[in-house]
Amino acid sequence: MKLDSYWTDSAEAFQPQAAELPAQADVVIIGAGFTGLSAARTLAQRGRHVVVLDACDRVAKEASGRNGGHVNNGLAVDYVAAAQQYGVEQARSWYHEFDAAVDTVERLVHEEAIACDFQRNGKLKLATRPAHYEALARSCERMVREVDPDVELLDARAVRDEVGSERFVGGLLQRKSAQMHMGRFATGLAAAAEKRGAQILLSTPALRLQRLGRGHEHLVHTPRGPIRARQILLATGASLHGGYGSFGWLRRRIVGIGSFIIVTEPLGAERAAALLAARRTYVTIANIHHYFRLTPDHRLVWGGRARFAISSPTSDRKSGDILREGLEQIFPQLKGVGIDYCWGGLVDMSRDRLPHAGERDGIFYSLGYSGHGTQMSVHMGQRMAETLLGNAAANPWRNRPWPAIPGHVGPPWFLPAVGLYYRLKDRMS
C-alpha cells in the first residue's frame, strides 16, 4: 500500500520551464493549486506578467491533488439552513455559483483539451437512517421549488438499483455534479497557464510579505531572494508551508481539518458495475460522513473524516484502517479487498463552511472552500483574476464578514473535541 495520493501517483508530473526568480511581476500568486493556477492562466491570457510561487516540489500537491476526485455542485451547508440564515435570494445566488463552478471546470477541460477523464454523471447524497432521509426530502422539496428543479429524491429501491448496498434508505440526486482525475487536470491546467506566459516556480515558498506604501504593492521574500509584486493573490488553502507571520490574520479564520482516503485495487469492470452502476459521486449525509466514487480503471476511491487529526504517515495508516472498516460495513462484498493507496489531506474549513474571498491589507485572497473546493477553486481563480483586473463585482463572496474563530491562534487544539461532538450527534440522530 502506497501512502501517497492516487491522483498524483497516476499522473505525469508537470515540469515547469526552468527560470530564475524575476525582480518584479505584475501579480505574484502564492500557491500552485487549482485557485492559483486558474488565476494565473486567466491573468496571463490578459497580458499580465504572472509569477506563481509554491513551497512544494509539484503543482497541486496539497488539497487540489489530495481530495476525493469529486466536482460537485451544491453548497457545503444544507440549502434550507442557508436560506433560513441568509435569505432565499442569497442562498439561491450562492447555490447557482456552485453550478457555474462545475461549468467553469468543464469549459476549461474542453478549451485546453485536458485528458482528465471528466464525466458529468451527477452526485447522490445517501441517507443511512430514516431521519436523514426525511431531512433530504424536506431539502428536495425546497430546492425543486426555489433553486434546482433537476434534483430528485430516490427511495431505497431506486438507490439499490444503482448502489450495491443494503445500508441506504434513500438519497438525493443532483444531476449537475461531475468527477475527474485530479492529477491529470492539475498537469493540464499548469501547462495551460505556462503556455500563456505565467511563470511557475516550485520549491519556492513565500517566507514573508513586506508591504510597500499603502497600496497593493509588496515585496515577497523567498529563499531565492525577493520579488516585487504590484498585486498579490494568496491561494494557499490550509497549507502548513510558508510565512505564518504574514498570513496570521487568515490562519485565525481557517481550520485545517484532516480528511483521509483509501483506494482499492482494480475491481474489474463487472464487479465495479455491480457496486456502483451509475458511476456517480456519492456522499453520506452524516456529520462524520463518507464520500466515494469509481475510477476509470475500476478502483473504488473511499474517503472520510476518519480521525480529527493532521495527515502524517502514522495518522494516515490509522485512518486507513478506520476507512476500511467503514467501507466493509457499507459494502460487505468487498471484505478483504486489497488497498493500493492511502493518504490524507487538509480541508480549509471556514467557520460558516462557505468560501471567503476579497482583499485585506493590500493582499487579495480566496480560500475556505470547506470540502467543496475542486470546482470552486478553479472558478474562483478566474473570478479573482477578474477582480485583480479591476472588476470587483466578479467576486461572488465579496464584502462578507469574516470574524476570527475564538481561541484559534495556532494549531487547532480543539479538533478532538469537535470530532467527539459530531460523533455523538450522529449517534443521536
> Regarding predicted confidence, which is higher, 426 or 397?
397
Q: What is the pLDDT of residue 420?
A: 47
Q: Residue 1 falls within a domain, yes or no?
A: no
Q: Residue 428 falls within a domain, yes or no?
A: no
Q: What is the pLDDT of residue 257?
A: 82
Angle, alpha carbons 78-104-279 (nearest 5°): 65
Q: Residue 229 falls within a domain, yes or no?
A: yes
Q: Helices 79-86 and 130-146 sit at what angle, rounded to 10 degrees?
A: 60
Q: Residue 146 falls within a domain, yes or no?
A: yes
pLDDT single digits (tens) 117-161:
999 999 999 999 999 999 999 999 999 999 999 999 999 999 999
* Residue 51 pLDDT exceeds 50: yes
* pLDDT interval class at 37 (50, 70, 90): very high
350 beta partners: 254
pLDDT single digits (tens) 158-185:
999 999 999 999 999 999 999 999 999 9
Q: Residue 139 falls within a domain, yes or no?
A: yes
Tell me whether strands 123-127 and 170-174 are parallel, antiparallel or unpaired.
antiparallel
Count of H-run helices and E-run strands, the chain: 12, 18
Mean pLDDT of 44-48: 98
Mean pLDDT of 227-236: 96
Q: What is the pLDDT of residue 237?
A: 83
Q: What is the pLDDT of residue 315?
A: 74
pLDDT single digits (tens) 387-396:
999 999 999 9
pLDDT single digits (tens) 75-106:
989 999 999 999 999 999 999 999 999 999 99
> Regarding predicted confidence, which is higher, 158 or 242?
158
Closest CA to 219 of 228, 231, 208: 228
Per DSSP, the three-state class of 226 is strand
Strands, E assignment, 180-338: 199-201, 208-211, 218-222, 225-234, 254-264, 281-284, 290-294, 300-304
Q: What is the pLDDT of residue 314?
A: 72
Q: Where are the alpha helices (H) located in 198-351, listed in sequence order?
A: 248-251, 269-275, 313-330
Mean pLDDT of 107-114: 98
**Cβ 365 vs Cβ 373: under 8 Å:** no
What letter does residue 58 receive in the DSSP assignment? S
**Cβ 51 vs Cβ 37: under 8 Å:** no
Buried b / exposed e over 277-313, threshold 16 CB at 10 Å, is eebbbbbbbbebbbbbbbbeebbbbbbbbbbbbbbee
Q: What is the pLDDT of residue 421?
A: 40
Rounded mean pLDDT of the chain?
91
Q: What is the pLDDT of residue 427?
A: 56
User: How many percent of the chain have pLDDT more than 70?
Assistant: 91
Q: Is 408 exposed, middle or buried (0-12, 13-18, 19+ CB in 10 A)?
A: middle
pLDDT single digits (tens) 247-275:
778 878 888 888 899 999 999 999 999 99
* Residue 410 pLDDT exceeds 70: no
DSSP for 302-333?
Answer: EEE--SSS---HHHHHHHHHHHHHHHHHH-GG
Q: What is the pLDDT of residue 416?
A: 53
Dist CA 366 CA 233 (whole Å): 8
Closest CA to 226 of 19, 18, 24, 17: 24
* Residue 246 pLDDT exceeds 70: no
* Residue 326 pLDDT exceeds 70: yes
**Cβ 51 vs Cβ 36: under 8 Å:** no
Q: Residue 164 falls within a domain, yes or no?
A: yes
- How many structural domains does the chain have? 1
Dist CA 150 CA 96 (whole Å): 13
Q: What is the pLDDT of residue 291?
A: 96
What is the pTM for the complete model shown?
0.93
Mean pLDDT of 333-346: 95
Measured in degrees and rounded to the nearest 5, phi and psi for residue 243 equal -85, 95
Q: Is 146 exposed, middle or buried (0-12, 13-18, 19+ CB in 10 A)?
A: middle
Q: Residue 425 falls within a domain, yes or no?
A: no
Which residues are CB-contacts of 346 (< 8 A; sequence separation ≥ 6)? Answer: 62, 63, 237, 238, 239, 240, 256, 257, 258, 259, 310, 311
Domain that holds residue 353: 6-420
Mean pLDDT of 357-376: 94
Q: Which three cell numbers stand for residue 194?
A: 505556462
Strand order in the sheet with 281-284: 152-155, 170-174, 123-127, 281-284, 290-294, 300-304, 254-264, 339-350
Q: Residue 71 falls within a domain, yes or no?
A: yes
Closest CA to 258 of 342, 183, 375: 342
Q: CATH code at 307?
A: 3.50.50.60
